[in-house]
C-alpha cells in the first residue's frame, strides 16, 4: 500500500476543491436542492450540454425520497413517469396498471448517479441563502451561498456568490428561494399562496402543469411549485416530482437557447 503523509491529504483536498469552486462561480444553471425534482432536472439539463450545479444543504442526496412513506422504504410512481425511471435505470414493480412501486434507496442513489453521469456537479453541505439580481431588465442572475454549518453556528459570516443564467428552486415544501425572493425582491412579483392539504391526483397533475419560469432567471420545480401556487400535497408518490424536474429542464433549455 502506498504511504501517504498527512499533509498531502489536506493539500490535494484543498487544491482540488478550490479548482472546482473557481469553476462553479459561473454556471448555466444552479439547482437548489438535491431532491427528486432537482436531480431529475440536473440530468436532463446536463445531457443538453449545460453546465449544471446542484447545491444541497444536507450531506446526502435524495431530499424526501429516503424517508419513503412514513419510513416504510418504498415510494410510488405513476405513469407516464416510469419512462424517467427507465432513463435513470431505476427498477420498478408494476402493482396495478400504470402504478409502480420503487425502492426508496435505489431511487435516490440512481437519480444522483444519473445526474452525475450526465455531467452535473453537486455541492453538499452548502445552502443557498439569497439570490443575486441585476437591474435593467430586472432578473435573477445567481445565488448567494454559505456552508450549512455557518447558520447553525450563529457566526456572522458573509456568503459567496455564483452567477448563472437560471436558478431553480427545487427546495421542496419550504420553497426557500422563492420565499427569499418574495420578501427581498418584491418588484419581481413572486407571492406564495401556500401548499394545500392532500389530494394526490390533483396535486400531481397541477405541479407538473405549473412547473416552469416564475420570474426572469428564476424557475420552480417539485413541491416548491405547490407552495407557490396553492396546490395540494400528495405524500410519497413521486411521478409528479420526476415529471416536474424533466419539464423545468425543457423550459430552461428553451429559454437559454432563445437568449443565446
Footprint of ligand 48F on this chain (CB under 6 A)? 32-38, 55-58, 63-65, 127-128, 170-173, 176, 222-223, 233-234, 236-238, 241
Using the minimum distance from each CB to ligand 48F, give the nearer residue, 188 or 220: 220
Using the minimum distance from each CB to ligand 48F, give the nearer residue, 7 or 234: 234
**What is d(CA 153, CA 147) in angstroms, rounded to the nearest whole number?**
10
Using the minimum distance from each CB to ligand 48F, give the nearer residue, 10 or 17: 17
- CB of residue 175 vs ligand 48F: minimum separation in angstroms? 9
- CB of residue 48 vs ligand 48F: minimum separation in angstroms? 20
- Among candidate residues 2, 12, 45, 62, the one with its CA nearest the CA of residue 255: 45
Using the minimum distance from each CB to ligand 48F, give the nearer residue, 137 or 230: 230
- CB of residue 210 vs ligand 48F: minimum separation in angstroms? 13
- CB of residue 57 vs ligand 48F: minimum separation in angstroms? 4
- CB of residue 221 vs ligand 48F: minimum separation in angstroms? 7
List, in sequence order, the alpha helices (H) in the chain.
6-24, 36-47, 82-87, 104-118, 149-153, 176-184, 200-210, 223-229, 239-259
Using the minimum distance from each CB to ligand 48F, give the nearer residue, 12 or 21: 21
- CB of residue 6 vs ligand 48F: minimum separation in angstroms? 32
8 A C-beta contact, residue 243 and residue 81 = yes
Using the minimum distance from each CB to ligand 48F, give the nearer residue, 48 or 56: 56
8 A C-beta contact, residue 100 and residue 94 = yes
Distances from the Cα of 29 to the Cα of 44, 60, 163, 212, angstroms: 12, 20, 9, 14
SS3 call for 175: coil
Amino acid at each position: 500500500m502506498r504511504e501517504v503523509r498527512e499533509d498531502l491529504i489536506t493539500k490535494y483536498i484543498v487544491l482540488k476543491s478550490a479548482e472546482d469552486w473557481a469553476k462553479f462561480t459561473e454556471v448555466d444553471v444552479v439547482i437548489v436542492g438535491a431532491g427528486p425534482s432537482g436531480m431529475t432536472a440536473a440530468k436532463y439539463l446536463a445531457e443538453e450540454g449545460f453546465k449544471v450545479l446542484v447545491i444541497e444543504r444536507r450531506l446526502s442526496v435524495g431530499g424526501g425520497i429516503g424517508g419513503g412513506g412514513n419510513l416504510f422504504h418504498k415510494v410510488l410512481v405513476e405513469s407516464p413517469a416510469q419512462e424517467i425511471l427507465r432513463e435513470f435505470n431505476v427498477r420498478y414493480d408494476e402493482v396495478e396498471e400504470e402504478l409502480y412501486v420503487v425502492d426508496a434507496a435505489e431511487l435516490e442513489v440512481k437519480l444522483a448517479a444519473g445526474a452525475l453521469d450526465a455531467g452535473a456537479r453537486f455541492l453538499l453541505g452548502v445552502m443557498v441563502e439569497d439570490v443575486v439580481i441585476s437591474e435593467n431588465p430586472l432578473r435573477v442572475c445567481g445565488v448567494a451561498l454559505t456552508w450549512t454549518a455557518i447558520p447553525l453556528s450563529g457566526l456572522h459570516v458573509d456568503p459567496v456568490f455564483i452567477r448563472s443564467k437560471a436558478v431553480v428552486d427545487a427546495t421542496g415544501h419550504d420553497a426557500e428561494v422563492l420565499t427569499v425572493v418574495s420578501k427581498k425582491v418584491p418588484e419581481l412579483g413572486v407571492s406564495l399562496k401556500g401548499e394545500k392539504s392532500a389530494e394526490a391526483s390533483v396535486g400531481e397533475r397541477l405541479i407538473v402543469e405549473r412547473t416552469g419560469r416564475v420570474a426572469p432567471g428564476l424557475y420552480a420545480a417539485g413541491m416548491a411549485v405547490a407552495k407557490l401556487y396553492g396546490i395540494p400535497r400528495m405524500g410519497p408518490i413521486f411521478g409528479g416530482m420526476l415529471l416536474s424536474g424533466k419539464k423545468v429542464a425543457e423550459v430552461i433549455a428553451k429559454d437559454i437557447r432563445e437568449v443565446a
